[in-house]
Chain A
Amino acid sequence: MTFFRLSFRSAVFYRRAHGMVLAGAMLAGAVLVGAMLVGDSVKFSLMNSALLRLGRIQCALESRGRFFEEDLAIRLEQETGTQVVPALLLRGIALNQKKTGDEPRQINAIQIVGIDDRFWRFAIDQGPTLADDGVAINEKLAAELQVKRGDLLSIRFSKPSLMSKDAPLSSRGGEDTLRGTFSVTDIIPDARLGRFSLAANQRIPNTAFVSLKWLQQAAGLTQQANVLLAGGGTSQSAESLNQAIRKVWRIEDVGLAIKTLEGGRLFQLESNRIFMDPAIGAVVSDFEKSVGALTYLVNSISRVDGTPVRETPYSFVIALAPSSDPALGAVPPEMADDEIIVNRWLADCLAAGCGDSIRLSYFEFTPWNSFVEKSRTFKIRRIIEMGDMTGERERGPHFPGLTDAGKCAEWDIGMPLLKDKVGDPANEAYWNDYRATPKAMVTLKAGQAMWANHFGNLTAIRFRANEDGAEGITEALRPRMDPADFGLAFLPTRETALKAAGEAMDFGQLFLGMSLFLIVASLMLTGLLFAFGIQQRSQETGLLLAVGYRTHQVRRLFIHESTLIAVAGSLAGAWLGTLYTRAMIWGLQHGWQGAVAHAEIRYHASWMTIGTGILLSFVFAWGTLILTIRRQTGKSAHELLSGEEASATTQQVSPLSWRGLGWIPRFAWIAGIMAALGLIAYATVNGMQNIAPVFFASGSLLLISFLGLGRELLIHLGRNCGPLTILTLGFRNAGRRRSRSLTVTALLACGCFLILAVSSMQEDIAGGASRRDSGTGGFALFGESTLPIQENLNSAEGRRKFRLDQIPELNSVRIVCMKVRDGDDASCLNLNRAQTPPLIGVDPNEFEKRGAFQPIDERVWAPLMAASVHGDTVPGLVGDSNTAQWGLQKKVGQEQGDTLTFRDEWGGTFKVKLLGTLPMRLSVFQGAILIPASSFSAHYPSENGYRMFLIDTPPGDERRIQDALSLKLGKWGVNLTSTVERLKTFYEVESTYMAMFLVLGGLGMLLGSAGMAVVVLRNIQERRDELALLTAIGYSDQQVRRIVVAEHGVLLSLGLAAGITASLAAIWPSLQAPGITPHWLSMILFIGGLALLQLLWILFATRVALSSSLLPSLRNQ
């Protein structure tokens, strides 16, 4: 016989008792491993999703809003040997063309991808060759549109424009949208790039693949693309691809061209975007024999001191950099910024001569894309004869809708024109004779001060001819320019996607947190059962001590047994854990889809996670058993052999009590309660927004203090609880096994606290939604459009264009329009960690004047009033506090706020400092960053029009207005939803988490309440002879039961009281927040149900334990 053999035999002999302990350890292990594997599965699914959407694509160049020559792909391929494929990516709307009667189905916000056969290089096999009348759609779009191969499908998209439609002189005429009808030739499965998307989001986009050539022609972008995809077998890093771009790019790739003028004496650099990026001006500033030019249409030119007033409306004026070379321009170096050169026609028209003052009235284009009329006075320096102006006519930029119009009355530009003035006969005559020949010239400095805007500050750069001609200028320009400044830069898309998935929300931790109570309950049960097992063997332990074993040797025997149990429990638990994971995944695919934003989650287990789980569950189980052993084996041989244990009322008298300092613990518990109440009062009075720390601090303090007081109460009950009655006899028993009693009480209190607190946090999203300081901002409707809407929908012109003026109900509707730069959704609906969240350009004044999203007496929008902070850094507000805390995991604030880096339209970077957050947990802006519209336009001038809307409606009319607006704006793919519904969509994630927690916590409570049953059984078993005596001396069975129930009822009441009081006190500050309306009835039902369940366990255990007669236990003695 060896020590281990003795332990092994004991383990086998007490296998039935150990079986229960093993079950407890297994359960804890299963929940632990299972929760960790849920994390594995979610991460694996996200990685899988990322790989599916990218196929073999490694890097991507996406120049949203800008277009480049598609043959750049071929040059890059030749340079790098990497597969580089061009594509044209646009947003659009898909419409199912039903053959008969059915309602057509419209799906907004689809991505239209213009591709050719090269695209399929990145898929596992070759996809369809797309004809001009064919479309291949992904499975998701096919399902949503309910179309199959051969069906007809319409696609509508916004007509791209090289010049931003927001630009001051851009054309607003013609059709904004284009439409094509196709036959569905193929439905692309997920595995064959059907999920193709460059956004780090697990949500599958609706995608239509069309012929690149067709899309280019339809969009008027022949040979142009806005996406390059690189990858395949010999892929290179984004950095090496970008270096290759610098080698092979041409200025034509970014819409620049050198125009030869005046028979080769002059060259002019022009952009197909009309306004040239500021970077170009900076590059050529050190070029010799070059001047920058900025041409603008002023509202009027009038003579200041003339009587009567003479003026001419709508005239082109050119601003030129001064040059001593007349070939470059007529503005000499000595010309002052307040001087102007006019042509003869203008001088005659105004009857002005040199030295006279004239005033230019013009529209200044504001950062909010609106026009403000301003004027500036100049002194006439020189008058140029019309014959000398022919060169300028040739050099003028081509403004679509303006310079190609037959007469002034046909001008069609974004700038507001007064009808009576635009048709001025003299001006018409000038237009007829001289077209866009500028009527006046000012210095470039003066011109830029008046007309520079976020689209650029030049319309042309003139170069004096040299020996190398246009090519020489191009070659001189190219090395000085960085193609990245024009958006030609690859990003490591795959690496970013995998990083986003890798940094996604850790569902393993989430489930561990949610299952923690279940794990603790299992471990507690394990400990209790093991303790009972040891107690049952107290005589055996006593005997071992009596025959000379030392305490640590006895402990070692038990430790051997417990190790066997813990090993077996953790191994079996790991296997059970895989089943638990599958069950959780089933839950995530069915009732709890909201938690994973309806993403498809597949089971995946890594050996590393399983191994870690086994190790952790072994440590927890073993630790629990070791603690139990230490507590249970500290008794003397005499105590154990005689079966006598000192009464709890006399045992474990604390050293403090001996010294007459027994009041100290009581004082400490009461001080704890006071501190917690103080914290709660502070949070309530100050209306703290982030009450989570207060909740946990005060809740924990209250729970611990209440349980401490409960312990004191049990001690008191054990000693004296008033006159002896059947009930008080039971109460006294409750104080005998304090540790056991407190374990059950604490578990009950904690469970009750957590579940009550969580269920009380259920938010009534609709409640208070009409308040301006709520997450809806008091707006009734939220809208997003697929295609940008150029006009302000509040303006008369906008309403007329969209025919909103035809519906009287819409007269009282006010709409706040916002600009959107797409990014990685940082809301709770995106499981991936957002790398670059969407930016929303807002006019903070619109919200501030309404008091929207801000509590009274607070100026939430103030940080956005400034266009920048600390130099070029843009001020930003996070959409809501949940986005800051969870989606972005960033700090906000004037000082400590984090800074995010974004890539602007030119490929450069700029910083957004998170100065604050909208002060609510959930808002309609969740997942996005709000920046001033001025900063937005400055960095993304090509993001023309508005794509996001918040709509104020008269109360009660929401539905009708939603229907009316949807009808009128449907062509632009506007999705309107009630703001409450939008919040509910976000809240679904949170509420699902809570539901999951309640289910898992409920299971923990169930297990914990089973612990109560075990304790009852054990207590009765332990005191069977005592109860038998009561029976012997005449107590009826009912009276004995009453004593047992009273004893355990005390524990139940204590646990419930501690849990309920602590949770209600801790949630008090959050109850003050708008929209928080706890479901009192369900909480009362929960407490009632819990109390009833516990009572049933007690009654059940009492009945089982007392089902056989107690008397034989007396007789046996």
Chain B
Amino acid sequence: MTSPLLELKHIGKTYPAPDAGGLQVLKDITLQVNAGETIAIVGPSGSGKSTLLNIMGTLDVPSTGSLTLDGQSLITLTHAEKAVIRNEKIGLVFQMHHLLKQCNALENVLVPTLVNRHSDGARHRARALLEQVGLATRLNHRPGQLSVGEQLRVAVARALINRPCLLLADEPTGSLDRSGADRLADLLLMMNKQEAMTLIVVTHSRSLAKRMDRVYELIDGQLV
């Protein structure tokens, strides 16, 4: 039996609050995700979906429990080590996509590769990714010259540039209309197949969630 790509064991997250106990957002979450799987996490607003995704992406640390990626524990890593993991193994897509305004589409995709000094190969790959996401003609356009959907696609290409084994997307379709959301879902799944990477999506969208291999709902801090 192959070991899971991502494993969460008894993850809990409590935020300090005025009352003595604090605000417990996540309770004892255990989850195993295999390589190449697609997973959707749904739940009402404030249920802790993004917190869970941030913990998976090492952007946040759990109060309790353990987290391993590809057999490596992420809890005990330093900030620098986590940064390396995020750069090499994890791709992140944010709802607000956060493109650098001073860079064009191609350059935005290349930004993660700067961490380890990108090669010519990275430039080719960035072009290819942008072609794959349908932006072959918009390589030199800056964020201000792209639509929201196009910006999101640039963000997806950026997330994939370093061939991560895990792609985490937080409400990727939140700012898109239905057709746009469908196209983005197609794109993510296509990438999942082509790049053989694991995809975890936090979303409110039932239609997007249905297209994933597994769907979890986060209720009262627990995955159901």
Q: Which A residues contact B (CB, under 8 angstroms)?
A: 644, 646-650, 718, 724-726, 729, 732-733, 735-736, 1025-1026, 1028-1037, 1039, 1109, 1111, 1114-1115, 1117
In-complex Cβ contact of B115 among A732, A1036, A1114 (8 A): A1036
Chain A residues near B101 (CB-CB < 8 A): 647, 649, 736, 1026
Closest A residue, CB atoms, query B92: A1032
Query: In the complex the two chains form, is B50's CB within 8 Å of A1115's CB?
Result: yes
Query: In the complex the two chains form, is B79's CB within 8 Å of A1037's CB?
Result: yes
* Between-chain CB contacts (< 8 Å), 16 pairs: A647-B143, A649-B142, A724-B114, A729-B100, A1032-B92, A1032-B94, A1033-B112, A1034-B83, A1034-B162, A1036-B83, A1036-B115, A1037-B79, A1111-B54, A1114-B94, A1115-B50, A1115-B60
Chain A residues near B146 (CB-CB < 8 A): none
Chain B residues near A1115 (CB-CB < 8 A): 50-51, 54, 59-60
Chain A residues near B111 (CB-CB < 8 A): 724, 729, 1030, 1033
Interface residues as binary, B141-159 with A (CB distance below 8 Å gives 1, 0 otherwise): 0111100000000000011
Chain A residues near B107 (CB-CB < 8 A): 724
Query: In the complex the two chains form, is A647's CB within 8 Å of B144's CB?
Result: yes
Q: A650-B142, A725-B114, A729-B111 are in contact. Are A1035 and B94 (CB under 8 A)?
A: no
In-complex Cβ contact of A1032 among B57, B80, B100, B114 (8 A): B57
Most buried by B among A1025, A1030, A1034: A1034
Query: In the complex the two chains form, is B142's CB within 8 Å of A1032's CB?
Result: no
Within 81-115 of B, Cβ neighbours of A (below 8 Å) are at 83-88, 92, 94-96, 98, 100-103, 107, 110-112, 114-115
Chain B residues near A649 (CB-CB < 8 A): 101-102, 142
A1037–B82 Cα gap in the complex (Å)? 11
Additional pairs, 15, CB under 8 Å, beyond known A1032-B92, A1034-B115: A725-B114, A729-B100, A729-B102, A732-B102, A732-B103, A736-B102, A1029-B94, A1033-B86, A1034-B87, A1036-B79, A1037-B80, A1037-B83, A1111-B54, A1114-B59, A1115-B59
In-complex Cβ contact of B94 among A735, A1034, A1117 (8 A): A1117
Query: In the complex the two chains form, is A1026's CB within 8 Å of B100's CB?
Result: yes
A1025–B88 Cα gap in the complex (Å)? 21
Query: In the complex the two chains form, is B83's CB within 8 Å of A1031's CB?
Result: yes
A315–B187 Cα gap in the complex (Å)? 132
Closest B residue, CB atoms, query A1030: B111
Query: What are the nearest 3 A-B pairs in CB distance?
Result: A1034-B87, A1029-B98, A647-B101
Closest A residue, CB atoms, query B51: A1115
Within 69-83 of B, Cβ neighbours of A (below 8 Å) are at 79-80, 83
Chain B residues near A648 (CB-CB < 8 A): 102
A48–B103 Cα gap in the complex (Å)? 68
A203–B42 Cα gap in the complex (Å)? 90
Q: Shortest CB–CB separation between residue A371 and chain B, in angstroms?
A: 91
Closest A residue, CB atoms, query B118: A724
Q: Shortest CB–CB separation between residue B186 and chain A, in angstroms?
A: 24
Most buried by B among A1029, A1032, A1033, A1111: A1033
Query: In the complex the two chains form, is A718's CB within 8 Å of B115's CB?
Result: no
Query: In the complex the two chains form, is B144's CB within 8 Å of A1039's CB?
Result: no
Q: Shortest CB–CB separation between residue B67 and chain A, in angstroms?
A: 16
Query: In the complex the two chains form, is B87's CB within 8 Å of A1035's CB?
Result: yes
Q: Shortest CB–CB separation between residue A286 and chain B, in angstroms?
A: 99
A1085–B14 Cα gap in the complex (Å)? 54
Closest A residue, CB atoms, query B81: A1036
Q: Shortest CB–CB separation between residue B212 and chain A, in angstroms?
A: 23
Query: In the complex the two chains form, is A729's CB within 8 Å of B114's CB?
Result: yes
Chain B residues near A726 (CB-CB < 8 A): 114
Chain B residues near A1025 (CB-CB < 8 A): 96, 98
Chain B residues near A1036 (CB-CB < 8 A): 79-80, 83-84, 115
Chain A residues near B162 (CB-CB < 8 A): 1034
Chain A residues near B59 (CB-CB < 8 A): 1032, 1111, 1114-1115
Q: Shortest CB–CB separation between residue B140 and chain A, in angstroms?
A: 10
Chain B residues near A1033 (CB-CB < 8 A): 86-87, 92, 111-112, 115, 158-159
A1111–B79 Cα gap in the complex (Å)? 11
Within 40-70 of B, Cβ neighbours of A (below 8 Å) are at 50-51, 54, 57, 59-60
Most buried by A among B59, B84, B85: B59
In-complex Cβ contact of B103 among A724, A1039, A1114 (8 A): A724
Query: In the complex the two chains form, is B98's CB within 8 Å of A724's CB?
Result: no
A718–B145 Cα gap in the complex (Å)? 16
Query: In the complex the two chains form, is A1034's CB within 8 Å of B112's CB?
Result: yes
A726–B54 Cα gap in the complex (Å)? 25
Closest B residue, CB atoms, query A731: B102
Chain A residues near B115 (CB-CB < 8 A): 1033-1036, 1039
Query: In the complex the two chains form, is B84's CB within 8 Å of A1034's CB?
Result: yes
Closest A residue, CB atoms, query B98: A1029
Closest A residue, CB atoms, query B100: A1026
Chain A residues near B80 (CB-CB < 8 A): 1036-1037
Closest B residue, CB atoms, query A729: B114
Most buried by B among A649, A724, A1025, A1109: A724
Q: Shortest CB–CB separation between residue A737 and chain B, in angstroms?
A: 11
Query: In the complex the two chains form, is A1026's CB within 8 Å of B98's CB?
Result: yes
A1035–B162 Cα gap in the complex (Å)? 13
Closest B residue, CB atoms, query A734: B102
Query: In the complex the two chains form, is B86's CB within 8 Å of A1032's CB?
Result: yes
Query: In the complex the two chains form, is A1111's CB within 8 Å of B95's CB?
Result: no
Q: Shortest CB–CB separation between residue B12 and chain A, in angstroms?
A: 17
Chain B residues near A725 (CB-CB < 8 A): 114, 117
Chain A residues near B85 (CB-CB < 8 A): 1034
Closest B residue, CB atoms, query A645: B101
Chain A residues near B79 (CB-CB < 8 A): 1036-1037, 1109
A186–B125 Cα gap in the complex (Å)? 101
Query: In the complex the two chains form, is B102's CB within 8 Å of A1034's CB?
Result: no
Query: In the complex the two chains form, is B88's CB within 8 Å of A1034's CB?
Result: yes
Closest B residue, CB atoms, query A719: B102
Chain B residues near A646 (CB-CB < 8 A): 144
Chain A residues near B114 (CB-CB < 8 A): 724-726, 729, 1035, 1039
Closest B residue, CB atoms, query A644: B144
Q: A1034-B112, A1036-B80 are in contact. Are A733 and B92 (CB under 8 A)?
A: no
Q: Shortest CB–CB separation between residue A650 and chain B, in angstroms?
A: 6
Chain A residues near B144 (CB-CB < 8 A): 644, 646-647, 650
A1117–B54 Cα gap in the complex (Å)? 11
A648–B100 Cα gap in the complex (Å)? 12
Chain A residues near B60 (CB-CB < 8 A): 1111, 1115
In-complex Cβ contact of B142 among A647, A724, A1109, A1114 (8 A): A647
Closest A residue, CB atoms, query B102: A732
A795–B118 Cα gap in the complex (Å)? 91
In-complex Cβ contact of B102 among A718, A1029, A1109 (8 A): A718
A1028–B98 Cα gap in the complex (Å)? 9
Chain A residues near B92 (CB-CB < 8 A): 1032-1033
Chain A residues near B50 (CB-CB < 8 A): 1115
Chain B residues near A732 (CB-CB < 8 A): 102-103
A1031–B96 Cα gap in the complex (Å)? 16
Query: In the complex the two chains form, is A1035's CB within 8 Å of B102's CB?
Result: no
Closest A residue, CB atoms, query B80: A1036
Q: Shortest CB–CB separation between residue B56 and chain A, in angstroms?
A: 12
A130–B101 Cα gap in the complex (Å)? 91
Q: Shortest CB–CB separation between residue B78 and chain A, in angstroms?
A: 10
Closest B residue, CB atoms, query A647: B101
Q: Shortest CB–CB separation between residue A1097 and chain B, in angstroms?
A: 23
Closest A residue, CB atoms, query B96: A1117
A644–B114 Cα gap in the complex (Å)? 25
Chain B residues near A724 (CB-CB < 8 A): 103, 107, 110-111, 114, 118
A616–B144 Cα gap in the complex (Å)? 44
Closest A residue, CB atoms, query B171: A1117
Query: In the complex the two chains form, is B98's CB within 8 Å of A1114's CB?
Result: yes
A725–B114 Cα gap in the complex (Å)? 6
Q: Shortest CB–CB separation between residue B193 and chain A, in angstroms?
A: 23
Chain B residues near A1117 (CB-CB < 8 A): 94-96
A1090–B50 Cα gap in the complex (Å)? 46
